[in-house]
Amino acid sequence: MELSVLNIDIGSYTSYVGYAGDSKPQSTFDTAVGILKSTKKDNQLFVGDSIMGQAYLDSINFPVREGVVTDWDNMETIWDSTFFNLKANTTEQTVLLTEKTFNTNINREKTTQTMFEKHMTPNLYLANQASLSLYCSGRTTGLIVSSGESVSDVVPIYEGHAMPHSTVRMEIAGNQSSDYLMKNSSCSEMFQGNKVELFRKRGLIDHIKRFYTYVALDFEEEMMKNESEISVSYKLPDGSSITLGSERFKCAEILFDPTINGGTAAGIHHVIFECVEGVYEELKDTLYKNIILSGRNTLFRDIEKRISKEIKYLIPGQVEIQVVAPTDIKYSTWIGGSMLGSLSSFDQMCMSKKEYEEYGANLVNRRCF
């Protein structure tokens, strides 16, 4: 009997979940667990969007840090909530989980053990997020430039397989650009408070970033423009308005020049160059022609044009550069998983519960790569 495939993409900031074969996720939610302390034995827990309706939360936990699970209790709370909301019966459904290239073997084994022993899934597959994003673009060889809320990386992929030893992590991600925008906007006083209060305001800063910020094709030239040329008015939820000025493009410039926000890391174009130049010679041209952006922090307008321009400055000679920003960039990883899970050969790729019982959790390190 052919089993339906649960397609679960859990990120540090946002999660996308649904079923393989669908064109878009069934649910999108914050990867967070809100805790309301109780006088009874057990605290009350709230996951994702349900957090917003709770006025008196004591704390908020984020179980995934820089793409890797660091809090297993709260991670299991999120998995439980996900399966419940999808009305999934995991004992009768295959589970596809996405993972970062640098996920540890220990974490992979813990995930495998949890899925087979607690959720009793008959089949499981852990799929590389970068490979899925590339697969979504219709390619099997290329370079994925992924930048989310808390982690960014550049991953070369050859014939569908990520090259972990050539992968380069970046110390810049969406949280830096968000922090800059919060601290330097004319409504910076709004973005003060404790962890719970700031969490409730993330939607506002996300909306500003998504629709009112952009990458300057020439930063120095943009800085020389009059304020009236770059300023826009933004209406706040309370009906008042603020003016957004140079922070509209400065928050994105952090990707290219982290020193703007006090950082010391190399810019995204330098990291891409470092990554490609580190692979074998025959693959370099193909990677430069197939640079695919992925993740919420690559949604800035004109980012692909600026990356292409900066890389050309770094490469000696004539090399074709193509940087692609897919229309479904936010959840290209999930779509890649949906495509993979729909293949007739997918069942053969999965670990079965019977194999797990015979070989143990270490099987994941041999089967999923």
Summarised one tens digit per residue, pLDDT across range 101-124 is 999 999 999 999 999 999 999 999
How far apart are the C-alpha atoms of 261 and 273, rounded to whole Å? Answer: 22
For the ranges 105-109, 203-207, 308-312, 331-335, the lowest mean pLDDT is seen at 203-207
Say if CB 25 and CB 16 are below 8 A apart. yes
Q: Which residues contact 353 (CB under 8 A, 6 or more apart)?
A: 116, 120, 121, 122, 123
Summarised one tens digit per residue, pLDDT across range 49-93 is 787 767 677 788 999 998 999 999 999 999 999 999 999 999 999
Q: Which is higher by pLDDT, 236 or 8?
A: 8
Indicate the residue type of 235.
Answer: K
What is the model's pLDDT at position 41? 53
DSSP-derived 3-state class of residue 64 = strand
Q: What is the DSSP letter of 3?
A: P
Summarised one tens digit per residue, pLDDT across range 288-300 is 999 999 999 999 9
Q: Mean pLDDT across the chain, nearest whole number?
A: 91
The residues pairing with 27 across neighbouring beta strands, listed in sequence order, are 17
Separation of first and last alpha carbons in the chain? 26
How far apart are the C-alpha atoms of 189 and 193, rounded to whole Å? Answer: 9
How far apart are the C-alpha atoms of 364 and 351, rounded to whole Å? Answer: 7
Q: Which two structure tokens, joined as six digits, stand for 30?
A: 């914050």
**260 alpha-carbon distance from chain centroid:** 23
DSSP-derived 3-state class of residue 181 = helix
Q: Residue 80's closest CA among 107, 47, 58, 39?
A: 47
User: Alpha helices of the chain — where are they, by DSSP H?
Assistant: 72-85, 105-113, 129-136, 174-184, 195-200, 202-212, 219-223, 227-230, 247-253, 268-277, 281-288, 303-314, 332-341, 346-349, 353-359, 363-367
Say if CB 3 and CB 94 are below 8 A apart. yes
Domains of the chain: 5-129+333-367 (3.30.420.40), 142-172+263-329 (3.30.420.40), 174-260 (3.90.640.10)
Percent of the chain with pLDDT over 90: 73
Say if CB 93 and CB 65 are below 8 A apart. no
**Does 166 score more than 90 pLDDT?**
yes
Q: Residue 298's closest CA among 171, 131, 148, 155?
A: 148
Indicate the residue type of 281.
Answer: E
Q: Which is higher by pLDDT, 189 or 21?
A: 21
Summarised one tens digit per residue, pLDDT across range 219-258 is 999 999 998 999 999 888 888 888 899 999 999 999 999 9
**Does 17 score more than 50 pLDDT?**
yes
pTM over 0.85: yes
**Does 9 score more than 50 pLDDT?**
yes
